[in-house]
Structure 1
Amino acid sequence: MSAMALELKSLGVSFGGFKAVDGVSLQVAEGELRVLLGANGAGKTTLMDLVSGKTRSSEGRVELYGADVTNWPEYRVARAGIGRKFQIPSVFRELSVRQNLCVAATREPSIVRNLRWGFDRQDETRVDEILALTGLESVQQRQAADLSHGHTQWLELGLLIAQRPKVILLDEPTAGMTQAETRKTAQILKALRGRHTILVVEHDMAFVRDIAERITVLHLGRVLAEGSVAEIERDPRVRQAYLGSHGIASPC
């Protein structure tokens, strides 16, 4: 049986008397790729904020491999092993793709020192693996500022992977992407499945069908349903609250 990488226990937060997240309990096993679904206002992004330490919870616990990391500052949560990618990419625009990844892969905190003295062979090998995984090999010498939207998103995902997080949080990773870029992103995430524990918030239903092993549906800050794609599609509560009559669309 797989270890439990991330566990939320009755997690909640209120803003001015409004419960944005209301007693959410969730278990994500090591190596699992879990998708969070829900309409706007369901509490998905707020839940990610609670897990990553961006927002302090009013109740409940966040556990990483059994260790309580509830309400830790963001930097401590990140150091503990929870990495998060936001909708808007954040990369070193003045550096090349490869330099970006080298800086993320090394354990030396000084960027200037890294660029001046170079990187060790172990880090370089790690970067080669990430370039291959993300399909960025052909643009590795290009300055990050000159990348397309899709390439920039894959670079930021690569930066996250390079830091060796135990759990990866992805907030709408296909936002603004073309169909081709979305399909490639699905391929990348499926390649990461099993090697990394991943929690994804996404609205693109074709993408969800392509990558999802297990889906958790949030509604009004609570867990409405949980299961496989087929189970979620059949659930009448989910259809009424979110999916409507069409279910989860097939991928293009």
Structure 2
Amino acid sequence: MSAYALEVEDLAVSFSGFRAVDGVSLRVAKGELRVLLGANGAGKTTLMDLISGRTRATEGRVRLNGRDVTNLREYRIARAGIGRKFQIPSVFGGLTVRQNIEVAQSKHPGVFANLRLGRSREDHAAVDEALDLVGLAPVAAVEAGTLSHGQTQWLELGMLMMQNPPVILLDEPTAGMTQAETGKTAAIINRLKGRHTLLVVEHDMAFVRDIAERITVLHLGRVLAEGSVAEIEGNAEVRAAYLGTQGISAC
């Protein structure tokens, strides 16, 4: 079995002759948190689309724990072990926070049908743990439709956790959040390190510094640089293309 949870090899896609992702390769170790950094149009979200099966690659391979999942249907890639959280959260507004977590936990189809299924003590404990981890235990009985933007984002994170995918893709998880909500999101994601392999697209540089172990910088659809926060800050090409003169620590 591969030592890497996620391997991308020479991945590319063209739209009407434009190569939005142009021969990207990266390897993410099991339990690693990798941040994808780059200006708008660098290819970050498109790369996530290719990995998750939302977009079909025209070249290259994607491997999950050594298994080739290139261009499989989106639901098959999800079943293989890749979970994804988009910028806009999707929860069941008419259900309580706890019920949303329970729906995500169930292996049975049908939202309301699986809410009537009996749950073991272990199932209840797992739901409690998820609620605690994302900080929503105090509002477990509240309807999800009444939550704040940040709370809704955390609920979707909790729902994703209950599905227990080995690899989690997070696309700008702090978009639209207050500074306090962003800090709490960083704490949640840091607690997920090691439990899951995480690939995170983010623009907020303070947030990146709080969570980053290793950063891959994309520019014009290609990998421009890869390394630690300090290495990326010190990279002249990255500064010229994206960070400017202040670097990550000052943003």
Which AA in structure 2 matches 1:60? G
Which AA in structure 2 matches 1:112? F
Q: How many residues align?
A: 250
Q: Which residue in the other structure is 1:142 paired with?
A: 142
Tell me how far apart the structure 2 counterparts of residues 117 and 173 of structure 1 sit (CA, whole Å).
Answer: 32
TM-score of the aligned structures, taking structure 1 as reference length: 0.97
Which AA in structure 2 matches 1:210? D
Classify the secondary structure of the residue corresponding to 1:83.
strand
Classify the secondary structure of the residue corresponding to 2:72.
coil
Tell me how far apart the structure 2 counterparts of residues 230 and 117 of structure 1 sit (CA, whole Å).
Answer: 50
Which AA in structure 1 matches 2:52? S
**CA offset at residue 119 of structure 1?**
2.5
What aligned pairs does 1:25-40 form with structure 2 within 5 A after superposition?
Answer: 25-40=25-40
What aligned pairs does 1:208-219 form with structure 2 within 5 A after superposition?
Answer: 208-219=208-219
What aligned pairs does 1:87-236 form with structure 2 within 5 A after superposition?
Answer: 87-236=87-236
Q: Which residue in the other structure is 1:239 paired with?
A: 239
**CA offset at residue 121 of structure 1?**
2.3
**CA offset at residue 118 of structure 1?**
3.6
Unaligned runs of 5+ in 2: none
Q: Which residue in the other structure is 1:55 paired with?
A: 55
Unaligned runs of 5+ in 1: none
**CA offset at residue 51 of structure 1?**
0.3
Tell me how far apart the structure 1 counterparts of residues 39 and 234 of structure 2 sit (CA, whole Å).
Answer: 18
What aligned pairs does 1:67-106 form with structure 2 within 5 A after superposition?
Answer: 67-106=67-106
Tell me how far apart the structure 1 counterparts of residues 122 and 187 of structure 2 sit (CA, whole Å).
Answer: 26
**CA offset at residue 250 of structure 1?**
4.6
**CA offset at residue 190 of structure 1?**
0.5
RMSD: 1.1
8 Å contact from structure 1 (residues 106, 123) kept in 2: no
What aligned pairs does 1:5-16 form with structure 2 within 5 A after superposition?
Answer: 5-16=5-16
Identical-residue share of aligned pairs (%): 71
1:54-95 CA-to-partner distances (Å, cap 9, x unmatched) read: 000000000000000000111001111100000000001110
Tell me how far apart the structure 2 counterparts of residues 240 and 58 of structure 1 sit (CA, whole Å).
Answer: 30
Tell me how far apart the structure 1 counterparts of residues 118 and 99 of structure 2 sit (CA, whole Å).
Answer: 10
**CA offset at residue 117 of structure 1?**
3.2
Tell me how far apart the structure 2 counterparts of residues 14 and 92 of structure 1 sit (CA, whole Å).
Answer: 35
Tell me how far apart the structure 2 counterparts of residues 73 and 171 of structure 1 sit (CA, whole Å).
Answer: 20
Which AA in structure 2 matches 1:238? V
8 Å contact from structure 1 (residues 102, 119) kept in 2: no
Tell me how far apart the structure 1 counterparts of residues 160 and 153 of structure 2 sit (CA, whole Å).
Answer: 11
Tell me how far apart the structure 2 counterparts of residues 240 and 107 of structure 1 sit (CA, whole Å).
Answer: 48
Classify the secondary structure of the residue corresponding to 2:14.
strand
Tell me how far apart the structure 2 counterparts of residues 117 and 83 of structure 1 sit (CA, whole Å).
Answer: 24
Which AA in structure 2 matches 1:21? V
**CA offset at residue 172 of structure 1?**
0.2
Classify the secondary structure of the residue corresponding to 2:116.
helix
Tell me how far apart the structure 2 counterparts of residues 116 and 37 of structure 1 sit (CA, whole Å).
Answer: 43
Classify the secondary structure of the residue corresponding to 1:151.
helix
Tell me how far apart the structure 2 counterparts of residues 246 and 102 of structure 1 sit (CA, whole Å).
Answer: 45
TM-score of the aligned structures, taking structure 2 as reference length: 0.97
